[in-house]
Amino acid sequence: MSTTTEAKRNPLAQIDWDYVEFYVGNAKQAAHYYMSAFGFEQLAYAGPETGIKNRVSYLLEQNKLRFLITASLLPDDEIARHVALHGDGIKDVAIAVEDARAAFEMAVRGGARVVSQPAAYEDDFGTVVKATIATYGETVHSFVQRTGYRGVFAPGFVERRKSLAHVAKPGLQFIDHCVGNVGWGEMDAWGDFYARVFGFSQLVSFDDKDISTEYTALRSKVMTDANHRVKFPINEPAQGKKKSQIEEYLDFYRGAGVQHMAIRTDDIAETIRALRANGVEFLDTPDAYYDDLEARVGRIDEAIDLLRELRILVDRDDQGYMLQIFTQPLQDRPTVFFEIIQRKGSLSFGKGNFKALFVSIEREQERRGNL
C-alpha cells in the first residue's frame, strides 16, 4: 500500500485484509480440508521444527486469500480452551496497515481493549510488526505491518509449499466481507465500536422487517472503510416465533463470533462447479425462487437455467447486481460457513434474497432439531 497524506493523518484510512486465523482441533487435517475442498495451496508452516513449541500453524493461500490454520500442542492453553468452548472457528481477522503502532494507538484512543501491544518480529528476511485488539466475543483484530519483509509470511514460519494436483481450482480471489454474530441488543454497540475505533461508516442496515420469515428474524448493519475494501456486517437476533439462525449460532458457538466470510470470485458459475466437484455442500434454494427472476432483478448476463442448476441467488441495487451462494457449515457445529459472491457493480448484501435464503436455513435448522 502506498503512503498518502491521509494515511499519515489516519493510519486506518488505507487498510486491507491480511489473513484470517482459524483455531482448530487438528491443524493438519483442517488444512488438508481447505486444500482439497476449496482449492487452497499450502505456502508455509510453523511449529516445533521452526522453534515454536506450543502450537502448529499452516499458512494456506489462494490468490489474495490467506488462511492461517492453527492448533495447540498443549492440553490447556488459550488455543485449546478456545476450541473446547467454540469448536473450530475464526479467532483473528487480521488487517494489513502501513504503520501498526499508529493504527494500534488510534484504535486504543477509540476505546479498543488491548490484547497485545505492538511488537516487532525479526529474522533474516526483515521485520513484521503486529499488535492486537479485542472485538466481539473472543474474536480479535491484529494490525500487521510488513513493510519491506521478504520472508514467506512472518518470522517463525518456513516455506513449505504443497498443492493437491487432483483438486479443481475454484478461482477464489479475496475477502469481500466478514460477518459477526452478536447477542441480543448488541448490534448498535458494535457498530459504534467500528465507527470509533476504525473510523468506519455505516454502509447499510437491515431491520427485522427486511430480514424475516414466518418464523425467524434478525437485524444487521454493515460497517465499512471509506474505500469499501474492508467491510464488517454485524448481526443480532430479533424476536420471532422460533429460534433464528443467529440464536442457533450463539448457542453452539457459546457466544459472539464470526458467522461467515464472503469470498469474491470473478466467475461464480465456474467457481461453484469446481467447489461442488471437490465435495463442497451448499444451501439449497427453492425452485420457485427462479420463477420470474428476471422480472424481479432486471436483465442479467447469466442464463436463468444456469442459475437454477447451480442454485445461485441474484440481487440488484442502483449500482448493478450481484450473485451469491452459501455453503453448509464447515465443521460439525452449525457455526462458521462461507458465502461465495460475484459483484457486477452492486454494493448490496442480498436484501432481495433474504426470504429465500432464510427458508433454506430454517429447513437445515429443522433437520438439526434447532428451529
pLDDT digits (tens, 9 = 90+) for 4-52: 555 568 999 999 999 999 999 999 999 999 999 999 999 999 999 999 9
Q: Is residue 342 part of a domain?
A: yes
Say if CB 262 and CB 325 are below 8 A apart.
no
DSSP H helices in the chain: 5-9, 27-38, 78-86, 100-109, 187-198, 245-253, 268-277, 293-297, 304-310, 354-368
Given 104, 127, 162, the domain boundary residue is 162
* Same-domain pairing of 277 and 355: yes
In the chain, how many domains are there? Answer: 2
- CATH number of 92's domain: 3.10.180.10
* Same-domain pairing of 195 and 324: yes
* Same-domain pairing of 231 and 334: yes
* Same-domain pairing of 128 and 186: no
pLDDT digits (tens, 9 = 90+) for 220-230: 899 999 999 99
- Tell me what the pLDDT averaged over the chain comes to: 91
Residue 280: the pLDDT is 98
Range with lowest mean pLDDT among 144-148, 328-332, 361-365 = 361-365
Write the DSSP assignment of 302-317 as a string of letters: S-HHHHHHHT-EEEEE
Q: Which cell is 324 given?
A: 451469491
pLDDT digits (tens, 9 = 90+) for 224-265: 999 999 999 999 988 776 677 889 999 999 999 999 999 999
Q: Is residue 89 part of a domain?
A: yes
Cβ neighbours for 24, distance < 8 A, ≥ 6 positions apart: 30, 69, 70, 71, 83, 88
* Same-domain pairing of 300 and 193: yes
Other Cβ atoms less than 10 A from the Cβ of 210: the count is 16
* Same-domain pairing of 303 and 255: yes
Given 162, 184, 201, the domain boundary residue is 162
Q: Is residue 194 part of a domain?
A: yes
Res. 319: pLDDT tops 80: yes
Residue 360: the pLDDT is 63
* Same-domain pairing of 123 and 188: no
* Same-domain pairing of 177 and 150: no
* Same-domain pairing of 149 and 178: no
Domain residues for the domain of 89 are 5-162
Q: Is residue 347 part of a domain?
A: yes
**Nearest CA-CA partner of 125 in 98, 101, 153:** 153
Q: Is residue 308 part of a domain?
A: yes
Q: What is the mean pLDDT of residues 182-200?
A: 96
pTM of the model: 0.92
Q: Which residue has the cell 499488535?
A: 131
Confidence tier at 211 by pLDDT (50, 70, 90): low
Q: Is residue 52 part of a domain?
A: yes
User: Would you state the torsion angle of the CA atoms of residues 169, 277, 60, 22, taken in this order, to the nearest 10 degrees?
Assistant: 150
Distance CA 92, CA 155 (A): 18
Given 127, 162, 197, the domain boundary residue is 162
* Same-domain pairing of 186 and 321: yes
* Same-domain pairing of 208 and 345: yes
Residue 9: the pLDDT is 80
Q: Is residue 167 part of a domain?
A: no
pLDDT digits (tens, 9 = 90+) for 77-125: 999 999 999 999 999 999 999 999 999 999 999 999 999 999 999 999 9
**Nearest CA-CA partner of 282 in 290, 293, 292, 274:** 274
* Same-domain pairing of 150 and 181: no
Q: Please give the angle made by the CA atoms of 288, 293 and 294, to the nearest 5 degrees.
A: 160
Q: Is residue 364 part of a domain?
A: yes
Residue 152: burial class (beta carbons within 10 Å; 0-12, 13-18, 19+): middle
